[in-house]
Amino acid sequence: MLEIARRFRRDGLNPVEHVRHILKEAHDDKLNVFISIDDEGALASAEKAEQRIRNGDEGTLLGIPIAVKDNICTKGIRTTCASNILSNFVPPYDAHVVERLKQRGCVIIGKTNMDEFAMGSTTATSNIGPSRNPWNIDKTPGGSSGGSAAAVAAGLCAGALGSDTGGSIRQPASFCGVTGLKPTYGSVSRFGLVAFASSLDQIGPIARTAMDVAVLYDAIKGYDPKDSTSVNKDYKVTSLDELDLKGLKIGIPPMFFGEGLNHEVEKAVREGISIFKELGAEVVEVKLPHIKYGVAVYYIVATAEASSNLARYDGVRYGWREENSRDLVDMYASTRSRGFNDEVKRRIMLGTYALSAGYYDQYYEKASRVRTLIIEDFKEAFKACDIIAGPTTPTPPFGIYDMLDDPLSLYLLDIYTVPANLAGLPALSIPCGFTTSGLPIGMQLMAPAFGEDLLLGAGITFQAHTSFHEERP
Ligand code: GLN
């Protein structure tokens, strides 16, 4: 991304030509990463950007092609959440983050594929079918922001936006060999993000390098009065410099290297940690005793919030409606049963059950209590270390349809990513190696709230001394 910005100014690369080329590639794409491509809008903004560059505007993001996950509202461009129920929804407004990117002169190429309503880890639940992993088209790119991560890895955009409720930025970033940040809860406005689980959802950037991610994060973060959970706080602007890692304390929870971890992933992540050590960091063991309940807590909290958030899709206010119905109740029922696919229905049922009278204290309330214990665990751990490191996912990318009939096993793979969402913490996935068959492996770094500066600095430093992020599929 920074490289393209430089070439616009020094090598005479023309932004309009560049965007034309990208659009052509996007139309020819075999990976099924785009749900919509906005040729007209993209070319119009490329022309404007070109003007501004010609007039000496130094803005880094001017003319930079960006892809946006299809659960983030874009004015005048369909925003479907990969669901039949929103198949005809054209938002009359831009999400806060999209507005921000447009102000900086970014070119929005199109909307990327995802799991329906961001519920999943493969993009296989999308109503347009799954995206493919550019490193091996029989493998999943991960999910739910699989389209965004695959688009970055395949060079169909310079950077992308995803959303992360339980790992949906970091896991696909890891599977596609790119860098992805799930920001601190409240640091990026959720205005215009279609809600899945409101207390967990965050929008964040995906790009090849931590430096590009930092530039995008800087552009989208900041207070927004239209999001009641947006934090109005002055915190350090992300620096793009390498850090001196001498004395940086990296906490390793032994549980992150426990049962179920693929040995190739373990090896690559341990090697990644040794690179940090060589750069001067110190490794300490930290305990996160309640993390083992993370997946259970997550699937109660996330489904409960989803069941409530998705109640609004009733055929009356938004999107698609079943017209052939007998009466109002039949219209609601048939709109929802034909509008949603199985995974979304499963979660609505689970969440409704967890919230129902008589079960609320047993499930939702209990999960909320354990969530607090997990938050406390992190507070305690960060007394002994500056960042926590481990694998992003327990396995390398798997076959696209491998897990389709086994939702429970799929849920368990979220073990390393959900804790950061439950605790609202920032977390970064960076490439740290490859399997013997050439599939990317990612490493996760977590920091205390608003510690993006440190996380990105550590990522930038790691990438200055490694080349995993430079490999191309
Ligand atoms: N895989 C997780 C889930 O299925 C995470 C999804 C997300 O972060 N949007 O819920």
User: CATH number of the domain that 23 lies in?
Assistant: 3.90.1300.10
**Percent of residues, the chain, with pLDDT higher than 90:** 95
Q: What is the identity of the amino acid at 139?
A: K
- Tell me what pLDDT residue 141 has: 98
> How far is Cα 231 from Cα 397, in angstroms, rounded to an integer?
35
Q: Which of 169, 414, 418 to mutate to test the pocket of ligand 1 (most atoms within 8 A of CB)?
A: 414
Cα-flanking dihedrals φ and ψ of residue 36, to 5°?
-135, 145
In a domain, 377, yes or no: no
Measured by CA distance, the residue closest to atom 4 of ligand 1 is 120
* Spatial CB neighbours of 83, under 8 Å, sequence gap ≥ 6: 116, 117, 127, 339, 340, 341, 344
The pLDDT of residue 143: 96
Closest atom of ligand 1 relative to the 171 alpha carbon: 1
Tell me which amino acid residue 166 is: G
392 alpha carbon – ligand 1 mean position (Å): 13
- Centre of ligand 1 to C-alpha 347, Å, is 11
| 35 domain-assigned | yes
At residue 470, the pLDDT reads 96
pTM of the model: 0.97
The atom of ligand 1 lying closest to the CA of 119 is 4
Mean pLDDT (the chain) is 96
How many whole angstroms from 258 Cα to the centroid of ligand 1? 22
Mean pLDDT of 216-243: 89
Confidence check: pLDDT of 239 > 90: no
In the predicted structure, residue 287 carries a pLDDT above the cut 80: yes
User: Domain for residue 413, yes or no?
Assistant: no
Identify which of 112, 122, 165, 413 to mutate to test ligand 1's pocket (most ligand atoms within 8 A of the CB): 165
Instruction: Please tell me the distance between residue 369's alpha carbon and the centre of ligand 1 in angstroms.
Output: 21
Active-site amino acid positions? 69, 144, 168
Distance from Cα 130 to the centre of ligand 1, integer Å: 15
Question: Which atom of ligand 1 is closest in space to residue 121's alpha carbon?
Answer: 1
pLDDT digits (tens, 9 = 90+) for 125-148: 999 999 999 999 999 999 999 999
Inform me whether the pLDDT recorded for 233 exceeds 90.
Answer: no
Ligand 1 probe mutation, 168, 346, 412, 421, most atoms within 8 A of CB: 168
Atom of ligand 1 nearest to the CA of 168: 8
Q: Which atom of ligand 1 is nearest to the CA of 196?
A: 9
Residue 359 within a domain:
no
Measured in degrees and rounded to the nearest 5, phi and psi for residue 421 equal: -70, -40
pLDDT in tens, 351-397: 999 999 888 999 999 999 999 999 999 999 999 999 999 999 999 99
| 240 has a pLDDT exceeding 90 | no
pLDDT (0 to 100) of residue 435: 98
Is the pLDDT confidence value at 168 over 80?
Answer: yes
How far does the centroid of ligand 1 lie from the alpha carbon of residue 434, in Å? 24
**pLDDT (tens digit per residue) in 189-222:** 999 999 999 999 999 999 999 999 999 999 999 9
Atom of ligand 1 nearest to the CA of 200: 8
**Angle in degrees, CA 175, 145, 67, rounded to 5:** 110
Mean pLDDT of 213-234: 94
Closest-CA residue, ligand 1 atom 10, reads: 119
3-state secondary structure of 93: coil
Residue 53 has pLDDT above 80, yes or no: yes
- Return the best residue to mutate from 112, 119, 194 for the ligand 1 pocket (most ligand atoms within 8 A of CB): 119
Write the DSSP assignment of 278-297 as a string of letters.
HTT-EEEE---TTGGGHHHH
Q: Is the pLDDT of residue 231 over 90?
A: yes
**63 in a domain, yes or no?**
yes
Asked if residue 352 is part of any domain, the answer here is: no
pLDDT band at 318 (very low <50, low <70, confident <90, very high): confident
Residue 299: the pLDDT is 97
Within-domain flag for 254: no
What is the extent of the structural domain holding 134?
A: 2-245+427-470
- Bigger pLDDT: 347 vs 404: 347
pLDDT at 234 over 80: no
Please name the residues in contact with 379: beta carbons below 8 A apart, sequence gap of 6 or more.
none
| Cα(277) to centroid(ligand 1), Å | 32
- Whether 148 contacts 139, CB under 8 Å: no
- Any domain includes 93: yes
Residue 284: band (very low, low, confident or very high) from pLDDT cuts 50, 70, 90: very high
Domains in the chain, number: 1
Q: Does position 236 have pLDDT exceeding 80, yes or no?
A: no
Taking the C-alpha atoms of residue 397 and residue 419, their distance in angstroms, rounded to an integer, is 21
Pocket of ligand 1 (CB under 6 A): 118-121, 144, 164-168, 196, 302, 414
pLDDT number for residue 445: 98
